[in-house]
C-alpha cells in the first residue's frame, strides 16, 4: 500500500512540474518568437529637421507643464519624426502588441507597461536608422479626470504617450491606438518622461 502511495505522490509531483513548465515555456515562446518576426517588419521612421535640444523641447511644452509635476529630458539632442511615420508606426504597434493583451494580470501589464513599450520600440526604429538623436517620444502620467482615447474617466492616475511631429505635439493612447493634438487633451499632465 505504501508503495502505491509513494508512486501516486511521484506521479502527482511530475504532473504538477510538467504543467508549470509547459505554461512558462508557452508564454515565453509566444512573446519572443512573435517579437522576432514582427521586429523585421517594423517600419523605418523619417525625421523632421532641424533637431531640437532639451531646452527647445521643454519650452514648447511650457503651456502644459504642471506645478505638481515636471518634465525629465535625459538627453540633449532630440528630433521630431514625420507625421506619416507616426501613423505608420502606430499601425505596426497595434498589430504587434495585440498578442500581449492580458487583462487577468492587472498592474503586471497595464497602461504604464504599454506606454514604455511604445516609447522603447519607437526608439528601436530609430536605432535601425543609425540616427544620432533621440526621438521626441515620451511617457506621460496624468489624472484621468476625463475620458480620452477609449479609456474611461475615474479617480486614478493613468500613463500614455506624447510625441512631437511636424504637426505639433500629440497625445497617443497605446492601448487603443487613438490620439489627438495636445491642445485637445482634456486631462492634467503631471509628469513627462522622455
Stretch that binds Ca ion, among 8-16, 44-52, 58-66, 104-112 (CB under 5 A): 104-112
# chain residues binding Ca ion, by CB under 5 A: 4
Least distance between Ca ion and beta carbon 31 (Å)? 16
For residue 146, the tally of other CB atoms under 10 A from its CB is: 13
Q: Is residue 177 a contact partner of residue 94, using CB atoms and an 8 Å limit?
A: yes
Least distance between Ca ion and beta carbon 160 (Å)? 13
The reply on whether position 107 binds Ca ion by CB under 5 A is yes
Least distance between Ca ion and beta carbon 67 (Å)? 26
The reply on whether position 116 binds Ca ion by CB under 5 A is no
Continuous H helices in the chain: 2-41, 54-60, 83-96, 111-128
Helix axes 2-41, 83-96, angle to 10 degrees: 160
The reply on whether position 104 binds Ca ion by CB under 5 A is no
The reply on whether position 113 binds Ca ion by CB under 5 A is yes
- Closer to Ca ion by CB, 112 or 180: give it: 112
Identify residues 18-57 at the interface with Ca ion (CB under 5 A).
none
The reply on whether position 110 binds Ca ion by CB under 5 A is yes
Alpha-carbon torsion, ordered 135, 112, 31, 137, to 10 deg: -10
The reply on whether position 180 binds Ca ion by CB under 5 A is no
Beta bridge pairs of residue 135: 79
Stretch that binds Ca ion, among 51-59, 66-74, 103-111, 178-186 (CB under 5 A): 103-111
Stretch that binds Ca ion, among 17-25, 33-41, 102-110, 166-174 (CB under 5 A): 102-110
Stretch that binds Ca ion, among 1-9, 65-73, 101-109, 127-135 (CB under 5 A): 101-109
CA distance 143 to 186: 10
φ, ψ dihedrals at 96, nearest 5°? -70, -35
Q: Rounded to whole angstroms, what are the CA distances from 60 to 55, 136, 143?
A: 9, 12, 21
Interface residues toward Ca ion, by CB under 5 A: 107, 110, 112-113
Amino acid at each position: 500500500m505504501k508503495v502505491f502511495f509513494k508512486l501516486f505522490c511521484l506521479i502527482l509531483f511530475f504532473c504538477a512540474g510538467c504543467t508549470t513548465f509547459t505554461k512558462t515555456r508557452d508564454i515565453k515562446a509566444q512573446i519572443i518568437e512573435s517579437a522576432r518576426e514582427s521586429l523585421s517588419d517594423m517600419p523605418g521612421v523619417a525625421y523632421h529637421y532641424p533637431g531640437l535640444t532639451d531646452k527647445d523641447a521643454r519650452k514648447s511644452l511650457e503651456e502644459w507643464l504642471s506645478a505638481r509635476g515636471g518634465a525629465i529630458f535625459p538627453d540633449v539632442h532630440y528630433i521630431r519624426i514625420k507625421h506619416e511615420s507616426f501613423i505608420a508606426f502606430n499601425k505596426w504597434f497595434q498589430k504587434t502588441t495585440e498578442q500581449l493583451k492580458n487583462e487577468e494580470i492587472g498592474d503586471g501589464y497595464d497602461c504604464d507597461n504599454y506606454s514604455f513599450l511604445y516609447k522603447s520600440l519607437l526608439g528601436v526604429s530609430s536605432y535601425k536608422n543609425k540616427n544620432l538623436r533621440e526621438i521626441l517620444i515620451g511617457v506621460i502620467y496624468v489624472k484621468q479626470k476625463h475620458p480620452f482615447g477609449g479609456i474611461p474617466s475615474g479617480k486614478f492616475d493613468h500613463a500614455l504617450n506624447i510625441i512631437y511631429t511636424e504637426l505639433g505635439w500629440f497625445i497617443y493612447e497605446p492601448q487603443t491606438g487613438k490620439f489627438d493634438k495636445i491642445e485637445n487633451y482634456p486631462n492634467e499632465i503631471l509628469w513627462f518622461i522622455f
